[in-house]
Chains A and B, each alone.
Chain A
């Protein structure tokens, strides 16, 4: 079974530029998450999708961050404009909702450096 795929692996941009990350979840997983992990901290949820609907985006800085999940499969996370404090690893995860499973499977992440 293929895991969660993310791209790119690394990205360096200047502040005020925009950037986009892509995620392809495990096939059949209805729930998709985007997490932000700042160095030395645990992952923090940015947004959670159930199929193509948003379940929780309370922690998403909506003035600069946006995310979509078209057709309930792939997802993109965008930052525009980026700030220095956005430097972090952005993790995508997916999970099966059926049966109440909440074991989320994570991708390798995208390491963003804003200079």
Chain B
């Protein structure tokens, strides 16, 4: 049972434009959400997170939006750069319930075209 879903396996965006990566979850106990970036032959690298008490968190070019009622979050990258080309994983946990375990989506491969 996939509790975190990323329905777009791939996304191509022109350099300088906005990249929007989407993620849906089914478990209403999830209260902490993270995005990881993964380059080939490397482990996932933490990018940005958001807790369920917020609906937006921003860090430089990266912004994560959370819509709890829709059980949906998105990652916006503006402006997109070729170095952003990687696989992006959405992850969720029931952190405030004491469970640190992360549940991952299947990933979205972002390609930023120069």
Q: A residues bordering B, Cβ < 8 Å?
A: 4, 31, 33, 40-45, 48, 55-56, 91, 93, 95, 97, 100, 102-109
Residue of A nearest to B45 (CB): A106
Residue of B nearest to A58 (CB): B101
B68-96 contact mask (Cβ, 8 Å, vs A): 1 or 0: 00000000000000000000010101011
The smallest beta-carbon distance between A39 and chain B, in angstroms, is 11
Q: Contact size class for B?
A: 20 to 34
* CA distance in complex: A56, B49 (Å): 23
Q: Let me know if B100 is at the binding interface, CB within 8 A.
A: yes
- Residues on B with C-beta less than 8 A from A100 are 95-96
Contact of A106 with B102 in the complex, beta carbons under 8 Å: no
Between-chain CB contacts (< 8 Å), 15 pairs:
A41-B106, A42-B89, A42-B104, A43-B104, A44-B104, A48-B100, A55-B100, A55-B101, A56-B99, A102-B95, A104-B100, A105-B46, A106-B44, A109-B42, A109-B43
* CA distance in complex: A102, B90 (Å): 14
Q: A55-B100, A55-B101, A109-B42 are in contact. List 4 more A-B contacts (CB 8 A).
A: A41-B107, A42-B105, A93-B43, A105-B46
The 6 closest A-B pairs by CB, nearest first: A42-B104, A106-B43, A102-B100, A103-B46, A43-B104, A106-B44
- Residues on B with C-beta less than 8 A from A95 are 100
* CA distance in complex: A33, B101 (Å): 8
Q: Let me know if B34 is at the binding interface, CB within 8 A.
A: yes
- Residues on B with C-beta less than 8 A from A40 are 106
Contact of A31 with B43 in the complex, beta carbons under 8 Å: no
- A42-B105, A56-B101 given; A108·B93 CB < 8 A: no
* CA distance in complex: A108, B43 (Å): 4
Residue of A nearest to B46 (CB): A103
Q: Let me know if B53 is at the binding interface, CB within 8 A.
A: no
